[in-house]
Structure 1
């Protein structure tokens, strides 16, 4: 059950480097459309741990790109919810479930995810990096260089897909539902998976 003292506000945590969501302002506007107070906080090295703890523990929903900042999700009050924005093809050996495993151990924090699957809306930090790694599947991306390249990507969040996820889950959370396992988003969209398979067959 949600904590009686929890604010239903939404906290959007920015990464501790440059933003990785290219349409961040649109994402914030979408969150505000749910008639909740929305706070945006960038994880800066100068921030005190006490401030991070107090802020996270005082809201009901945490939205963040995959990254170190998401370890703060365990500070959410009982009944809180995490909406994780997963980078493109981020899934080597279950790495995309790392933060989900943390919140699952709490047994009272909901955890959902949206994943970037449209390769045309993903930006790598260098053209050569994109040429080398954009077509790699998670099972092939086993080196530190490849994993790092995907961790540094910038991507556009599909607002329609994120809204659908919020619409499917927020009402159930607000009703006091116990934690349940919502379907985890696949690595690729069906269209991209078929295209990649076709390209490899032609090699």
Structure 2
């Protein structure tokens, strides 16, 4: 029996996965949590074989949670479940120990295939994620960042990020860079997506940890 634990901040997502797996022979959902912190506290009691882990959650994101879970339970298999198709997120999750990456719009057959594949110790990427990884590797062979796990920020995003780290407000950043308030917010939103963080505080923490502003 493959024991599955779900970590996602949306109740409908958890209920949807439970419904998809409800009648599947050989797979049992043994628990769920709505945030990473709660999962870290309770997941060891459920002793799952496979964890379906969302990336973008309030508080600790799935990238950091993946790293912590692998330290706690090195034998467990983690599948990232997300709507984000950013190549940097795929690489960061895999770099932190995830064995799979599947988009949330996956059907029942694909979800089951992913669970069974990683349970056997193999890697599983859905078709879209696999294509993104292949394209990224192909386009980066001559780059010094070929093996990096960090998201690639544009020059302007790095400028905005540095000013955020310097504690400037959105309007102050707009004035300093001679761009609009809305453009600053767009750059901020794009960086949240690339880093898998939910708010500015999370962005700052990840930026400092991985030195994304340099």
Q: Confirm or deny a common fold (TM above 0.5).
A: no
RCO higher in 1 or 2 (8 Å CA, sep ≥ 6)? 1
Q: Answer with 1 or 2: which has the greater Rg.
A: 2
**TM-score by structure 1 length?**
0.38
**TM-score by structure 2 length?**
0.37
More helix by share: 2
